[in-house]
Amino acid sequence: MEVPPRLARFYEHGAPTRELAERFVAAGHECYLVGGPVRDAFLDRVDPNADVDLATDARPDAIEAIVGPWADDVWLQGKRFGTVGCRKDGIPFEITTFRGDVYHPDSRKPDVSFADAIEADLARRDFTINAMALALPEPRFVDPFGGAVDLGARVLRTPLGPDVSFTDDPLRMLRAARFVAAFGLEPVPDLLHAMEMYRQRLEIVSAERIRDELSRLLVLQDPSPGLWLLCSTGLSDEFLPELNAMRLEQDPIHTHKDVLAHTIAVVNNTRPALGVRLAALFHDIGKPKTRSFADGGVSFHHHEVVGARMTEERMRALKFPNELIDDVTKLVYLHLRIHTYAMGWTDKAVRRYVRDAGDLLDDLNHLQRSDCTTRNKRKAAMLARRIDELEARIAELRAKEELDAIRPPLDGRQVMELLGVEPGRVVGEALEFLLELRLDEGPIAEADAFERLRAWASERGITPRSS
């Protein structure tokens, strides 16, 4: 067969992939290119930094013997599962023996068994679009489950029945959401039915695995089809029940926007960076718990406070890193701050806003812009103008003072020397007083700061040292 240009780098004479395949064939084994590169070739996509995944009938010891003298580096952590990793000329390879694994109901970790045919190996893969292979070093296309046709038709199917596939490895249901969003695929009806029927199987999957799949989905260019799939099948209820909880019942009298639809729209509005995407996903999760009706309207008072607490709890349950939890929680807590200053931005307000946002200032501004999903052009323009005004005021104040590193005009040592105290509560209270002065008034000269601190101390019965 003629090799598509997108795959030529694997077949060119002298190319590391071809060299390695020739070594396998010379040793009497088969070698196939599998996984993402084969799928992506049909989609006109190329990821030159991706690992090269190869499958072979050679057993792990034979793989090690073949690649050892050839590769620049070899790693064997996955050897007992049939995978040997290596690197040649900067290209990472993973070579895996054909597998026909046996799964148990209480675990997604199979008993590894090796197979002798590529078709058996492809049958155990998650979706037909990932169950295609190309022989090396001479090209021959192997597609026993019609993955190429499915890609052309833009449908998502499993090689075996989805009940078998999802029972074996429930994480595949989460991957289905990612592939739907990544490649614009439509799940076939029996796959959707299986996701609904077997969603509780997700309980055997670790929080870390679920977290990683959710993260991969969220940083796609448009994750919304995948998020809707998770919600519509109920799969999200197994690890993120807050999502479908935002499908608030619409009251014909006290109308408000669909919070879930708004949330997914905000996620899609934000740039594909994990922190701000998570903040967009969680920013309104406090609304169901805070909804109230009064005076002919609906309100969600303090939903940012409740939402920040819920965000932290959910992210900890999903084992996200502490620093990311802190950042996302902070963004959720601050995401309404822009509305606090509807009447304009004083210097004092700008300083406090910048201090509270800290390193997350750009993300916070971006999230607040993205939070506008109204079709009312006047309201949208008003919010955009408010954020423009804020950013202009920040730039203006930055030009006048050290806005991004606001700190008290005196340090702890100076406070202790003036007040004649040891480290402790009084020093902390004094520094907080000085910081409030700095936020309210802007830069304060050191001499003035000492005088203000003396007055503060005297009011509290503390006798400052004489100057």
The per-residue DSSP string of 24-65 comes to: HHHTT--EEEESHHHHHHHTT---TTS-EEEEESS-HHHHHH
In whole numbers, what is the pLDDT of the chain averaged over residues? Answer: 88
Query: How sure is the predictor about 108, in pLDDT bands with cuts at 50, 70 and 90?
Result: low
Mean pLDDT along residues 175-185: 97
- How many Cα atoms occupy the beta-carbon half-sphere of 291 within 13 Å? 19
For residues 206 and 381, the model is more confident at 206
User: From start to end of 396-443, where are the E strands?
Assistant: none
Q: Please name the residues in contact with 361: beta carbons below 8 A apart, sequence gap of 6 or more.
A: 354, 394, 404
Contacts of 414 (CB under 8 A, 6+ apart): 450
Express each pLDDT in 421-449 by its tens digit: 888 888 888 888 888 888 888 888 888 88
Query: What was the pLDDT predicted at 384?
Result: 84
CA neighbor of 129 nearest in space, from 113, 145, 118: 145
Nearest by Cα to 17 from 97, 98, 137, 128:
137
Provide the Cα torsion 395, 397, 401, 403; round to 10°. Answer: -70
Does residue 254 surpass a pLDDT of 60? no
Q: With a cut of 90, say whether residue 233 has pLDDT above it.
A: yes
Tens digits of residue pLDDT in 269-315: 999 999 999 999 999 999 988 776 666 566 676 798 999 999 999 99
Query: Residue 458: what pLDDT?
Result: 82
pLDDT of residue 448: 83
Cβ atoms of 109 and 170 within 8 Å: the answer is: no
- Strands 186-187 and 155-156 turn out to be parallel
Contact (CB, 8 A) for 298 and 291: yes
Instruction: Indicate whether 363 pLDDT > 90.
Output: yes
For residue 104, list its beta bridge partners.
107
Selected residue with higher pLDDT from 46 and 459: 459
What pLDDT is recorded for position 324? 98
CA angle in degrees (0–180, nearest 5) for 420-424-429 = 85
Strands (E), 237-312: 292-294, 297-299
Note the pLDDT of residue 251.
45
Percentage of the chain exceeding pLDDT 90: 56
Decide if pLDDT at 225 tops 80: yes
- Provide the pLDDT for residue 393: 84
The least confident of 271-280, 330-339, 391-400 is 391-400
Which of the two residues, 138 and 342, has the higher pLDDT score?
A: 138
Beta bridge partners of 102: 111
Those residues with Cβ within 8 angstroms of residue 314's Cβ, 6 or more apart along the chain or in another chain: 240, 242, 282, 285
- Report the range of poorest mean pLDDT among 312-316, 321-325, 453-457: 453-457
Dmax (CA) for the chain in angstroms is 93
Kindly state the average pLDDT of the residues 104-108: 60
Give the Cα separation of 456 and 90 in Å (integer): 64
Instruction: State the Cα torsion 62-64-67-72 to the nearest 10°.
Output: -170
| Cα–Cα dist 299/336, whole Å | 14
Q: Which carries the bigger pLDDT value, residue 155 or residue 101?
A: 155
Least Cα distance to 53 among 78, 25, 70 occurs for 78
- Pairing relation of β-strands 133-136 and 31-34? antiparallel
What pLDDT is attached to residue 253?
Answer: 41
Average pLDDT over residues 9-18: 90
Instruction: Give the pLDDT score at 132.
Output: 96
Task: Please tell me the predicted confidence (pLDDT) of residue 460.
Answer: 82
Residue 202: pLDDT band with limits 50, 70, 90: very high
Residue type, 71: A
User: Tokens for 4?
Assistant: 């598509």
Peptide bond into 137 cis (omega under 30): yes
Whether residue 74 has pLDDT greater than 70: yes
Higher pLDDT, 89 or 8: 89
The reported pLDDT for the residue numbered 182 is: 95
